[in-house]
Amino acid sequence: MFPACRYYLQARRCIRTLKAVQVGHVAPQVYSTQRSSSTVPRITTHYTVYPRDKDPRWEEIEMERFADEADVVIVGGGPAGLSAAIRLKQLANQHEKELRVCVVEKASQIGAHTLSGACLEPTALNELIPDWKERGAPLNTPVTEDKFSILTEKYRIPVPILPGLPMNNHGNYLVRLGHFVRWLGEQAEELGVELYPGYAAAEVLFHEDGSVKGIATNDVGIGKDGSPKDVFERGMELHAKVTLFGEGCHGHLAKQLYKQFNLRENCEPQTYAIGLKELWVIDEKKWRPGRAEHSVGWPLNRNTYGGSFLYHLNEGEPLVALGFVVGLDYTNPYLSPFREFQRWKHHPSIMSTLEGGNRIAYGARALNEGGFQSIPKLTFPGGMLIGCSPGFMNVPKIKGTHTAMKSGMLAAETAFSKITDENLQSETAGLYIPEYKEALEKSWIWKELYAVRNIRPSFHNYFGLYGGMMYTGIFYWFLRGKEPWTLKHNGLDSAQLKPAKDCAPIEYPKPDGKISFDLLSSVALSGTNHEHDQPPHLTLKDDSVPVAHNLAVYDGPEQRFCPAGVYEYVPLETGDGMRLQINAQNCVHCKTCDIKDPSQNINWVVPEGSGGPAYNGL
């Protein structure tokens, strides 16, 4: 709970109770609004689509919010946000300055929404916390063996990993990133950073001059029909001189900022992938701690970008982390990333490792794959974008943690200089810090991303995967990204699907319950949970579009690209058609639906704080 607000909320509850006695509540069934045809079943009830100022059920509800002040507010307690917070407090202590830094994180615990492979390159960590080994950082598995392969349906073709190629992992560590992020949180708290897990940043606040003022956390106690419950509580405002947005891939506040400040005006559209991951305990005889295996090819065709990883972890028991990545620019609406993942595990080279083992965890998330060409403008009055929110992932390396951390550190250093400048005369109430972009361009992040900028878009050719590999082998190996051209991506991932009538359905084998599994049993292992009685946070701009467009043209691709079974088409109760059912409780916060929806009708917003997956070291 933010300081001083506990008593404020208790007082407000008493006032609301008195008002309820005086005026009562308007019955929910009195309110009914349709955005489209009256024959379309109502799906969306969220206030971002149906404003509360037009809803009579909210007329007597107190909407005042408690406000608190900080020097810097950071949205997102991931590698970027926590690295920024740590660096800010390091600088404040070094210069003997008082600096209040607050981090808000939607997960119930720091690290609970974190998912990655993860093969960690320690460059940024060495800079941020040089004595991380003495401090007990959970980097327990240095990479001792690298393997890269092209898979056919039955065979594995080894590919040599030459020094200097992106897939060379010498000096890196295989980690459970959620545990590493939790450790970063502990380091931040030791320095005096205020961490607020369980608080979802739901709204960007602005000064009258248009600069960012801070954020507001989400309201709680709203019924599934959009009405206020007796336990309704307004969110709280956090104001700051500078707000850093490190929400992760495709952050919902960052989307608003892109539009508000036209941040994507001079860059290419971002392109994405979905990554699915499982954690297994395997037979100890098959365990090779420190081995990192990567593959491309089967079961994907040559024109579908993707690949896999299998990491042998040294965590005190024979654990392996395995995952499958599919580029979201795929074209066949019948493709299911989840079922491709399950099918991949039956390849002889993978199944031999898993047989006799036990799957203990599952999760999924979206990844930024646009790289250098898709980096937006990063600074605006009152704020900056850091980490995977703008997208600093090195795609051929399949690594983004080190670049995310470094971006947070650079944002912290430039923000600290401005905040503590006693002679600063700012033109806006929220500080504008263009020096952040300048610092990035001088850093190893810029050099690294520029060098690999053409590798991902080089896959857009007739030969697909194989053409891209040839390009990488020739131009990256010899020129290290110094070729005098920059390739372009194909555009928005949502625009890539072909109509169902032009594509062949994909027949997937049934899961055997030993190596491959069904979707719902997998989601159960994610630990995901949401308050049932709240408006679905998967909102639709128009409730009629899913059936009229997505189902009619693309055979309902959302029921296949979602890795958690959130979307399904079911018969109408009248029996004369179909309707979209949204199982919001299943959501693992991957944002794939918001990215890949061909009608761009889905808008992912934050649910009540603490909702979502409960990953334990994914």
Residues marked active site are found at 116, 365, 401, 562, 587, 590, 593
Residue 62 is given by DSSP the state: -
Question: Is there a contact between 198 and 610 (Cβ–Cβ < 8 Å)?
Answer: yes
Nearest to 329, CA basis, from 375, 268, 397: 268
Tokens, residue 541? 């701009």
Question: Phi, psi at residue 549, to the nearest 5°?
Answer: -120, -60
Tell me which H or E stretch contains 128: helix 123-128
**Phi first, then psi: what are they for 29, rounded to 5°?**
-70, -10
Residues contacting residue 184 through CB under 8 Å, at least 6 positions apart: 79, 82, 83, 86, 110
- Give me the sign of the Cα torsion angle 439, 443, 448, 450: positive
333: buried, middle or exposed (CB in 10 Å: 19+, 13-18, 0-12)? buried
Could you write out the DSSP letters of every residue in 452-517? Answer: TTTTTGGG-STTTHHHHHHHIIIIIHHHTT--S------S-GGG-PPPGGGSPPP-PPPP-SSSS-
CA-CA distance, 248 to 145, in Å (whole number)?
Answer: 30
| Residues in Cβ contact with 54 at an 8 Å cutoff, skipping those fewer than 6 apart | none
The pairing of strands 228-233 and 220-222 is antiparallel
CA–CA dist 580, 594 (Å, integer)? 16
